[in-house]
């Protein structure tokens, strides 16, 4: 399986700005997963503890936004999808 990374060449700060613009408050679940997957890939490639901490922090922030969206709309995400999202966040954070 080949992973397509739309944001690989984008710098971290530009990626963060784009993530916040596209996710926070008005995104669909696929958008959340797209950005979370990119955070996971950046975590795998990271060799810096400071970078790892920043990526973990962003994953947690993204999770909070997803939970806010889910509170507004209970049909936004299925339980299995939420578990998958949580698993990926935990993977990034450890």
pLDDT tens by residue, 8-33: 888 989 999 999 998 887 778 899 99
Between CA 79 and CA 8 the distance in angstroms is: 30
- Residue 12 domain flag: no
Res. 1: pLDDT tops 50: no
Between CA 92 and CA 40 the distance in angstroms is: 6
- Residue 2 domain flag: no
Task: Provide the domain limits for residue 42.
Answer: 28-93
Q: For residue 2, what pLDDT is reported?
A: 56
Q: Which of 48, 59, 63 is nearest to 93 (CA)?
A: 59
- Residue 5 domain flag: no
Residue-averaged pLDDT of the chain: 88
Q: For residue 46, what pLDDT is reported?
A: 86
> How many domains would you assign to the chain?
1
How many residues are recorded in the chain? 94
Res. 39: pLDDT tops 90: yes
Count of CA atoms in the C-beta half-sphere (13 A) of 23: 25
């Amino acid at each position: 399986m080949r992973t397509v990374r739309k944001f690989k060449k984008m710098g971290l700060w530009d990626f963060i700005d784009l993530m916040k613009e596209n996710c926070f408050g008005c995104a669909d679940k696929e958008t959340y997963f797209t950005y979370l997957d990119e955070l996971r890939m950046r975590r795998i490639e990271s060799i810096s503890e400071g970078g790892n901490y920043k990526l973990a922090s962003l994953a947690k922030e993204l999770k909070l936004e997803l939970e806010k969206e889910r509170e507004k709309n209970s049909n936004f995400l299925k339980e299995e999808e939420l578990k998958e999202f949580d698993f990926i966040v935990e993977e990034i954070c450890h």
